[in-house]
Structure 1
Amino acid sequence: MSLHAVIPQYWSETIPEPLPPSPFELIANPGPTRARYINRHPRTFRHSRIPLPFISRLLGWTPPDTPSAAFYRLYELLVLDINIQFRNELEYFCTSHPDWSVSSIPDPADFGDPLRYAVLAVLTQLMCDAFNRRIALGLPRDAPPIIQDFDEVQARPKVFEQPPDWAPRVKPLEDKVFLPNGKGEVFREDDEENICKRFKSMNIIAQMAHIHFI
């Protein structure tokens, strides 16, 4: 078996993706994360962050992308309210990797950081909201980029996404947390027009993200 056949298995089965920074760590120091995503070609960041084995570095090999890596990118973009890149990554996860079901996203088991764990759990629900809206409109995740027979695509069975089993088990925070948006604005918990109900159910007050795309 070749090295290139073995190494992807190393990423997908052996070592978990490193967790991203906690929300307030990102908010306090957004520069490195913004620099990673804004005005950068996706190939520079759409890959695993698991350290490369020495032999792979010698060969100049690029690590593959993984569902967890993509999921953690979405988390960083969501927390920092980087809207365009957030929607681009939602679309990438949805349409470029229809084999990556939301329900199969591995459990981060983030018991040491309840806020980060809660945000990650809510993110799985937002992903389902975004993907399922498209599916309900007759756009399955594996729809071709250019649809020549829309009736055929719409006639396909509608397979809706579900959050992973671990997400509903994540408990709401004991103390209410207010997450600012990208402009530093903090919203009142009674501002039903602007805040996210899914976050509110976890005792987090945050602006509703722009999750829908065509």
Structure 2
Amino acid sequence: MVLLSSYFSEPLPPSIDSLLNQREKVRQRFPPSHRSPWRMSRRAVLFSTGDTALACFYRIYQFIVVDWNVALRNELEYFCIMNPDWAVADLPDPADTQDPARYAVLAGITYLLCEAFNRRIELGLPRDAPPIVEDWEELARRPKVLERVPAWAQRVPPLENVLRIPNSKGRYVEEGGPEVCEPFRKLNILMHQPHIHFV
């Protein structure tokens, strides 16, 4: 059983190779609520016990690398909706000098967060929108405050050599293919576009 306190330590997460070689261990490391539809009870517990944006960001990284779509979507919703004060631009720089590949993936994820959250915002759903919208006109009157990529992520250079990350079925995406993740491609990483939209 995983202690909740393990969610709140924020050392750098495992390397990409380590995650890919132990996909099932990643799934076992997180409670069952990551494998089922989004549960407010789990979120309330985490929120009340001191979860952080960086810890959540590192969970998103793990779910993206191992291609665990249900957990990824749940974590994106948690970051976006339950914690509207967690600005993407304020994510601290992991300063990952030991592992350029992991650093590049982390940088690429900030672009995906902005893409996912800004799509909702452009559709009229600010991050602090109520779970059940009763007054769409009031939401429409609010200024659209879009998320921004952190400055550190914009400075992360592309990898010298192409990094190919397979999906959960062990398949690789081809460069120029319709399924390639564009923010990662710009960092010289080829992987399938993760399922980041949850509207």
TM interval, shorter chain, is: 0.7 to 0.9
For the 8 Å contact 1:140–1:153, the answer to whether it is kept is: yes
Aligned residue among 92, 104, 108 for 2:90: 104
State the distance in 1 between where 2:31 and 2:194 align: 18
Aligned residue among 192, 195, 199 for 1:210: 195
Q: Whose Rg is larger?
A: 1
Q: 1:198, CA displacement in angstroms?
A: 0.9
Question: Structure 2 length normalisation: TM-score?
Answer: 0.87
Match of 2:3 in 1: none
Aligned residue among 78, 97, 114 for 1:92: 78
Aligned residue among 7, 20, 25 for 1:27: 20
Match of 2:58 in 1: 72
Q: 1:134, CA displacement in angstroms?
A: 0.3
Aligned residue among 120, 134, 139 for 1:148: 134
Q: 1:197, CA displacement in angstroms?
A: 1.1
What CA deviation, in whole Å up to 9, does each residue of 1:83-142 have, x standing for no partner?
A: 011011101100100000000001000011000000000000000000000000010000
Closer, same or farther in 2 for the Cα pair 1:112/1:172, shift >3 Å?
Answer: same
In structure 2, the gaps of 5 or more residues are 1-7
Question: Structure 1 length normalisation: TM-score?
Answer: 0.81
Identity of aligned residues (%): 50
**SS of alignment partner, residue 179 of structure 2:** coil
What CA deviation, in whole Å up to 9, does each residue of 1:2-30 have, x standing for no partner?
A: xxxxxxxxx8xxxx711110111100111
What letter corresponds to residue 144 of structure 2 in structure 1? K
**SS of alignment partner, residue 32 of structure 2:** coil
Q: 1:37, CA displacement in angstroms?
A: 3.3
State the distance in 2 between where 1:40 and 1:95 align: 17
- Structure 1 residue runs of 4+, over 2 Å off? 36-44
**SS of alignment partner, residue 142 of structure 1:** coil
**SS of alignment partner, residue 116 of structure 2:** helix
In structure 1, the gaps of 5 or more residues are 1-10, 49-61
**SS of alignment partner, residue 158 of structure 1:** coil
State the distance in 2 between where 1:63 and 1:23 align: 28
